């Protein structure tokens, strides 16, 4: 069924008073005539002085509605790193390098237009491995069905002095793409919750943090020739922290879809296993639910800050789990509260391992407010390009799209569609 979009906003958008000159990342990702980074550009003083606030130290209080222009620029900037992960991944099943990175490590950011010249340097390629056992007959099937480990993103460090000055610290970025391979799709179907305690995730308390089984598998599984994503990240983060131990540092994990789920688990793992880790924030786009309330409680105790960019029309952000446990501990089925049920029934619901919790602070957007989309469907609502369009144009909940966004979108570059 094809839906035709009719704007529910006949009024003229109220333009929010200017907060400071537009962040260059906002325009760079869409404007053909501009570059993602302009060497020698004047650094926005607010970001360098208040970067920790823009990365969640106060839970983004007063910055989301209306959306602060500096925060808007930061969100789009980190979304551009995820876009680079997509652009670098080889999606062609007939290619001999299918599911690998198309570029050499030192060229990942240079070959991607959205982050070219950004001042960051890739230090590590990252791979995720599925633990789903492959039957013997799979050897007779096409190679794309047999790929067990695939390139899923990278670690990058800011090495440009001017950019470090603009940011107010040296930033470490972990960027993770969404689902792409056959086995990754199959892992997504393993939607029951499983315990994440043990040697891989040591737990200091007696409660039971649980995460989605398929995502945990992709994070912790490895082979004889390919270490797990967990091992790769632990080793690389420790190496970078030791190298820059005398400098102010931040660690930002960003991802889209499956990458958003992996970002949350990686943040929990790093904070649990690495002592004296720097300020850690997660900026996720279109992420599904990934864990239960106990996991969220542990994450919050560790000081991890999660900003979850959500499109209300994106079905992926509403799954998995038939029930959702909110911050007040009340279980809801979709939007219907079942708190009035007996404790025995609520226990049976939890035992089903389908009670998920929404993690982090939300910036909630809607495809219906976009000036770019003529129709709404599952694919476009989940597309990373749609998310970046919505962030770029959003003003506030009472004025969803800014007046200048239409002119900017007419000059938009064609970012490849994310599958």
Residue 326 in tokens: 């909110």
- Please give the pLDDT value at position 335: 44
Render pLDDT for 191-244 as a digit per residue (tens, 0 to 9).
899 998 665 666 555 568 999 999 999 999 999 999 999 999 999 999 999 999
How many whole angstroms separate alpha carbon 55 and alpha carbon 251? Answer: 10
Task: Report percent pLDDT > 70 for the chain.
Answer: 74
The pTM assigned to this predicted structure is 0.82
Phi/psi of residue 270, nearest 5 degrees: -65, -45
Whether 40 shows a pLDDT value over 70: the answer reads no
Please state, rounded to an integer, the average pLDDT across all residues of the chain. 82
Query: Which residues form the catalytic set?
Result: 257, 314, 382
Whether 85 shows a pLDDT value over 90: the answer reads yes
Extended strands (E) in 257-345? 279-285, 305-311, 323-325, 331-333, 336-337
Render pLDDT for 343-380 as a digit per residue (tens, 0 to 9).
655 555 555 567 899 999 999 999 888 766 666 788 89
Across the range 8-22, mean pLDDT stands at 39
Task: Label residue 331 by pLDDT band (50, 70, 90).
Answer: low
- Which residues have CB under 8 Å from 125's CB, separation 6+? 101, 105, 108, 151, 154
């Amino acid at each position: 069924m094809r839906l035709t979009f009719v704007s529910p906003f006949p009024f003229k958008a109220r333009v929010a008073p200017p907060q400071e000159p537009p962040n260059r990342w906002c325009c760079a990702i869409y404007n053909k005539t501009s570059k993602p980074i302009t060497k020698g550009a004047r650094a926005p003083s607010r970001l360098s002085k208040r970067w920790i606030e823009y990365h969640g130290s106060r839970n983004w209080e007063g910055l989301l509605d209306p959306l602060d222009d500096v925060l808007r620029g930061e969100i789009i900037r980190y979304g551009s790193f995820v876009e680079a992960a997509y652009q670098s991944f080889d999606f062609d099943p007939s290619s001999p390098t299918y599911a690998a990175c198309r570029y050499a490590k030192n060229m990942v950011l240079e070959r991607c237009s959205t982050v070219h010249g950004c001042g960051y340097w890739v230090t590590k390629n990252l791979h995720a491995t599925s633990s789903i056992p492959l039957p013997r007959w799979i050897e007779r099937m096409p190679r794309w069905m047999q790929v067990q480990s695939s390139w899923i993103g990278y670690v990058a460090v800011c090495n440009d002095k001017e950019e470090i000055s603009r940011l107010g610290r040296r930033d470490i970025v972990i960027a993770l793409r969404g689902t792409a391979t056959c086995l990754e799709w199959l892992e997504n179907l393993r939607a029951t919750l499983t315990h994440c305690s043990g040697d891989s995730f040591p737990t200091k308390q007696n409660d039971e943090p649980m995460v989605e089984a398929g995502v945990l598998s992709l994070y912790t599984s490895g082979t004889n020739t390919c270490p797990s994503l967990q091992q790769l990240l632990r080793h690389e983060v420790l190496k970078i922290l030791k190298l820059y131990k005398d400098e102010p540092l931040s660690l930002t994990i960003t991802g889209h879809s499956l990458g958003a789920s992996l970002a949350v688990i990686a943040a929990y793992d790093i904070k649990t296993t690495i002592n004296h880790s720097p300020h850690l924030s997660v900026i996720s786009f279109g992420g599904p639910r990934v864990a239960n309330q106990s996991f969220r409680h542990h994450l919050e105790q560790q000081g991890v800050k999660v900003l979850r960019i959500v499109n209300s029309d994106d079905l992926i952000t509403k799954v998995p789990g038939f029930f959702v446990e909110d911050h007040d501990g009340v279980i809801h089925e979709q939007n219907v509260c079942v708190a009035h049920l007996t404790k025995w029934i609520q226990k049976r619901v939890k035992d089903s391992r389908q009670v998920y919790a929404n993690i982090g602070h939300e910036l909630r957007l809607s495809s219906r407010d976009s000036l770019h989309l003529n129709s709404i469907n599952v694919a476009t609502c989940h597309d990373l390009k749609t998310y970046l369009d919505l962030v770029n144009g959003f003003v506030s909940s009472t004025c969803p799209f800014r007046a200048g966004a239409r002119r900017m979108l007419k000059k938009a570059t064609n970012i490849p569609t994310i599958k």
